Structure formats: structure tokens, C-alpha cells
């Protein structure tokens, strides 16, 4: 795993794209930094009567293309630099799928696993009391992220509406359906990833109906990818899946629905009938057509990249591939669908939620799927065309698409 500061990595990635694009120095410098950031000290009454002081952040990285958008993370090791990096990545993510939003991110240093529901609610409301005046559908729209849930979003929306004195459900997305959530949010990340696997396979003349696939990480993104891969592509053989405790493999294929049921009931993949054990390292090097890393960052490195045999690697996880590994995979001919493109389905449906809230009319599930497919397919095409034109690996090509769009918006506004 990389030990570099995540914000330094984000800046280096931008630098490479900026040089390739020939950005002028003012635009380049502008895009290297958050445009605005807030640091909060939040007093919260705990169940035992004591007051605890929490630290929180909100970074509004760039709003040239529209209001900033990005999740709120609750994590004991949260730092401002992690939030800055994630806010930068949100800026490139909303741009690559061409939705009219900028990028942002928030965080609170806390351990929600040690907090009661009442304490979580008071912390959620305290955060909104601190940041609320900087939020809104025309300013900055948060969403769930690591250890934050639809319920937490509902408390935050309620606090915001109470302070403002009017209904404003679009201030936050990822809400439960009864208070303005969108159909189709639950599986949107995996669904968006599978849509672009379909496009990549077509570009590479791979027959997806017969393709084999493997999934590292079997949480929200991984479980939905397991079933949606076959549903959307009309076939395929799930060879293996792993979670933090190891996983299962079968060369004749595993039944994805049964595997998800087994995981939900037993809490693990191991012990699934007909599955031979496979480790988290082995699954990455498996002979298969499509590999979905859907767990952690930094798993594909200079050490194992040359052993990856998949034809397509669809990064549902954030940051699974190190920069050195990217170059090796490109030279080897592994077709990488980079994280901020591959997992952009979630923010795209969050944007649809915001749109539905704003005009107070709600779409059917079919409408959500249709619009998501269109957005992901168009995004894939832009990245594909850029990579053909510039002959660079897909991550750099995706950066070039995103950064050029944000740079153009900055220029048109007269900022640079
Ligand atoms: P999750 O917590 O639901 O699932 C994570 C899974 O990874 C679990 O099955 C866990 O057991 C497994 N895991 C943990 N350590 C592992 C290890 N060492 N090896 C293999 N598996 C391991 O998380 P999620 O929401 O599915 O997110 C997974 C990844 O996708 C993250 O990188 C996340 O940032 C990214 N992502 C998710 C969404 C989303 O909408 N869920 C959106 C964008 C990006």
C-alpha cells in the first residue's frame, strides 16, 4: 500500500494530465488546490452526560462546472489531506461523467462503531449546524460515504430544513426513499461499472456472454457486481470471489445469487458449497476475462501487475492500482477501467436524486437505469476516444477528459 500523502498523489496525477494537456500555469495551479475548505470543532453531548469535542472538515474543491458534490466520511483516522484528495477526485469524477457539478468531500474524526444511535444523531446535527449555511442545492451537496448511512443523511437533511425553515431535500443525497431518495441508488456503483465493461468488451471484440469474471471484495459494490454482470451482459461465468477472510473458486462457475445469499446469511464467503478456497492475492492473478477489484486501495502494485491475466480490469474500488502498476498493465495490454470512471455510477444516481428533489417529481427505476446507462456509455466513449488520440493509458486519458472540461469552465468564467 502506498505511504504517500493522498493529496500529494492527487496533485501528482493532476500534474501529469496538466502537462499532457499543455495547461497554462495559472489554470494548473488553480486546479491543484481546494477553492474553499472549512474546519469545525463540534461539541456533542454523549449518552453519559459528558460533552465530547469532535473535529470535522468540509472541502469544496472546485465549483467551476456546478455546485460541489461529495460524501461525508466518519472515520477515526480522518485527516484534512484525505478529504482534500477525495474532494479533488470527486471533481474529476463528476466531470468525466459530464454531470453539471463540481467536487467536494467532508469528514468527521470519530469512531461510529463506538457510538450509540442517539450520539450519532447529535453529531450529524452538530455538523449541519456548523456547515449548513455553506450547503444547498446551488452550493454544495453532501452524500453518504465511509461509515455514514441513509439514516444519517435523513437526520442531516432534517436539521438543515429546521434551520432554514423550508423543505430542501436536494441539500443531501443518498436519503431513504420515504424522504426523497431515488430509486436505483443501492446498486448504482456496480451497475455503472458493468455498463462500461460491456462497452469495453465491445471495443475489444470480447464476447461478454461467454466471459469469465472474478471479484475481490464482496460488500455493497462486489455483491451487486456479481449478479448484475450476468443480468446486464446476458451471461458470464463467475469464477471466484473473496472478502477480507478469503474466498471461493470454481472453474465451472459459482452461482452469484446463491453466493450473495450465503454471504448475507453466514457473514463470509468461505464454506460456500462447491467452492475451493482462494486467497485475496491469488484472485487478482486468476486467468479470467474481467477482474473487479471492489475492496481496498493499493492491491495491484509493481510486484503483482505483471501477473494479472484479466483482459479487462474494472476498478469499482477507489485507488486499487498504484501508478507503477498502471504502466505495467498498459504495456501488458490489460484494459483498465479507472476508478473515477468505473465507480461513477453512484454519484451519477446521486445527481439524479438531486434533480428529482429539485423538481419534486420522481422517476421510475427503468428511467434511472436508462439515464445511468447513457451517462456511463458516453463517459466511456470520451475516455476511449481520448486514449486512441493520445495513446496513453486509460487513467491518464480519463484525467485528460475531466481536467480539460474543468479547465474550460474556469476559462469561460474568466477565472484564468
Ligand atoms: P463495503 O464495506 O460494503 O465492502 C468492502 C468489502 O471488501 C467487504 O466484503 C470486505 O470484506 C472486503 N475486504 C476488506 N478487506 C479486504 C481484503 N484485504 N481483501 C479482500 N476483500 C476485503 O464497501 P463498498 O461500498 O462495497 O466499497 C468497496 C470499494 O468500492 C471501496 O474502495 C469504495 O471506496 C468503492 N466505492 C464504493 C461505492 C459504493 O457506492 N458502494 C462508490 C464508489 C466507490
Q: Where are the domains of the chain?
A: 39-179, 182-416
pLDDT (0 to 100) of residue 179: 97
Asked if 304 and 285 count as a contact pair (C-beta separation under 8 A), the reply is yes
Going through 33-80 in order, the beta strands assigned E by DSSP cover 36-45, 51-62, 68-75
Cell of 401: 477528459
Q: Give, for ligand 1, the residue of 221, 226, 279 to mutate: max count of ligand atoms closer than 8 Å to Cβ.
A: 221
pLDDT tens digit at each of 416 positions of the chain? 446 788 998 999 999 999 999 999 999 999 999 999 999 999 999 999 999 999 999 999 999 999 999 999 999 999 999 999 999 999 999 999 999 999 999 999 999 999 999 999 999 999 999 999 999 999 999 999 989 999 999 999 999 999 999 999 999 999 999 999 999 999 999 999 999 999 999 999 999 999 999 999 999 999 999 999 999 999 999 999 999 999 999 999 999 999 999 999 999 999 999 999 999 999 999 999 999 999 988 899 999 999 999 999 999 998 899 888 999 999 999 999 999 999 999 999 999 999 999 999 999 999 999 999 999 999 999 999 999 999 999 999 999 999 999 999 999 999 99
The reply to whether domains 39-179 and 182-416 share a CATH topology is yes
Q: Which of 79, 88, 29, 89 is nearest to 61 (CA)?
A: 88
34-38: long-range contacts (C-beta < 8 A, 24 or more apart)? 34/59, 34/60, 34/61, 34/62, 34/84, 34/87, 34/88, 35/60, 35/61, 35/62, 35/63, 36/60, 36/134, 37/80, 37/83, 37/84, 38/130, 38/131, 38/134
Compute the distance from residue 28 Cα to the ligand 1 centre, in Å.
32
Residue 3: predicted pLDDT: 61
Of 87, 161, 156, the C-alpha closest to 125 is 156
State the cell numbers at 112.
461510529
Q: Reduced to 3 states, what is the DSSP secondary structure of residue 44?
A: strand
Contact present, 241 and 255 (Cβ < 8 Å): no
Catalytic residues: 105
Specify the residue with its C-alpha closest to ligand 1, atom 25.
220
Q: Which CATH class is domain 182-416?
A: alpha beta
Q: Are the C-beta atoms of 31 and 403 separated by less than 8 Å?
A: yes
Mutate which of 217, 245, 281 for ligand 1 pocket (most atoms within 8 A of beta carbon): 217
What is the whole-number distance in angstroms between the Cα of residue 316 and the centre of ligand 1?
Answer: 8
Burial 112-149 (b: 16+ CB within 10 A, else e): beebeeebbbbbbbbbbebbbeebbbeebbbbbbebbe
Q: Quick one: which H or E segment has residue 144?
A: strand 140-144
pLDDT of residue 318: 87
Report the distance separating Cα 186 and Cα 188, nearest Å: 6
**Pocket around ligand 1: residues whose beta carbon is below 6 Å from it?**
189, 216-222, 242-244, 280, 294-296, 316-318, 343, 346
φ/ψ of 23, rounded to 5, equals: -65, 145
Domain 39-179 has CATH 3.40.50.10090: no
Q: Which three cell numbers stand for residue 259?
A: 453466493
Instruction: Give the pLDDT confidence score for residue 319 in this predicted structure.
Output: 87
CA of 216 to the centre of ligand 1 (A): 9
- The whole-number pLDDT of residue 1 equals 43
The continuous run of DSSP H or E covering 355 comes out as helix 345-359
- Burial group, residue 41, by CB count within 10 angstroms (0-12, 13-18, 19+): exposed
With contact defined as beta carbons under 8 Å apart, do 135 and 68 qualify? no
Which H or E run includes 111?
A: none
Question: Which helix (H) or strand (E) segment is 115 a member of?
Answer: none
Amino acid at each position: 500500500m502506498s505511504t504517500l500523502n493522498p493529496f500529494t498523489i492527487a496533485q501528482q496525477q493532476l500534474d501529469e494530465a496538466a502537462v499532457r494537456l499543455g495547461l497554462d500555469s495559472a489554470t494548473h495551479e488553480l486546479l491543484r488546490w481546494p477553492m474553499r475548505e472549512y474546519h469545525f470543532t463540534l461539541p456533542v453531548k454523549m449518552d453519559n452526560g459528558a460533552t465530547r469535542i469532535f473535529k470535522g472538515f468540509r472541502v469544496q474543491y472546485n465549483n467551476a462546472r456546478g455546485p460541489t458534490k461529495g460524501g461525508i466520511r466518519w472515520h477515526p483516522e480522518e485527516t484534512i489531506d484525505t478529504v482534500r484528495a477525495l474532494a479533488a477526485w470527486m471533481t474529476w469524477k463528476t466531470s468525466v461523467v459530464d454531470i453539471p457539478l463540481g467536487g467536494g468531500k467532508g469528514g468527521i474524526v470519530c469512531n461510529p462503531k463506538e457510538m450509540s444511535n442517539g450520539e450519532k444523531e447529535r453529531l450529524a446535527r452538530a455538523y449541519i449546524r456548523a456547515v449548513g449555511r455553506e450547503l444547498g442545492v446551488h452550493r454544495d451537496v453532501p452524500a453518504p460515504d465511509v461509515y455514514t448511512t441513509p439514516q444519517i443523511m435523513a437526520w442531516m437533511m432534517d436539521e438543515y430544513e429546521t434551520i432554514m425553515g423550508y423543505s430542501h431535500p436536494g441539500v443531501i443525497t443518498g436519503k431513504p426513499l420515504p424522504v426523497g431518495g431515488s430509486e436505483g441508488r443501492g446498486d448504482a456503483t456496480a451497475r455503472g461499472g458493468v455498463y462500461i465493461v460491456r462497452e469495453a468488451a465491445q471495443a475489444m471484440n470480447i464476447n461478454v456472454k461467454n466471459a469469465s469474471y472474478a471479484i475481490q471484495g464482496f460488500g455493497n459494490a462486489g455483491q451487486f457486481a456479481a449478479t448484475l454482470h450476468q443480468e446486464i451482459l446476458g451471461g458470464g461465468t463467475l469464477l471466484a470471489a473473496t472478502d477480507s477472510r478469503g474466498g471461493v473458486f470454481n472453474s465451472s462457475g459459482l452461482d452469484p445469487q446463491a453466493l450473495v445469499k450465503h454471504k448475507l446469511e453466514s457473514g463470509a464467503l468461505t464454506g460456500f458449497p462447491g467452492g475451493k478456497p482462494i486467497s485475496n492475492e491469488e484472485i487478482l492473478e486468476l486467468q479470467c476475462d474481467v477482474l473487479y477489484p471492489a475492496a481496498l486501495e493499493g492491491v495491484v502494485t509493481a510486484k503483482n501487475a505483471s501477473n494479472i491475466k484479466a483482459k479487462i480490469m474494472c476498478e469499482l474500488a477507489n485507488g486499487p492500482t498504484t501508478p507503477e502498476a498502471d504502466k505495467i498493465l498498459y504495456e501488458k495490454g490489460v484494459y483498465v477501467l479507472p476508478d473515477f470512471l468505473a465507480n461513477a455510477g453512484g454519484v451519477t444516481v446521486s445527481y439524479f436524486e438531486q434533480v428529482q428533489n429539485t423538481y419534486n417529481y420522481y422517476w421510475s427505476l427503468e428511467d434511472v437505469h436508462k439515464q445511468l446507462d447513457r451517462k456511463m456509455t458516453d463517459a466511456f466513449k470520451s475516455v476511449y476516444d481520448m486514449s486512441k488520440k493520445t495513446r496513453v493509458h486509460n487513467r491518464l486519458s480519463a484525467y485528460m477528459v475531466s481536467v480539460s472540461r474543468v479547465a474550460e469552465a474556469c476559462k469561460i468564467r474568466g477565472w484564468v
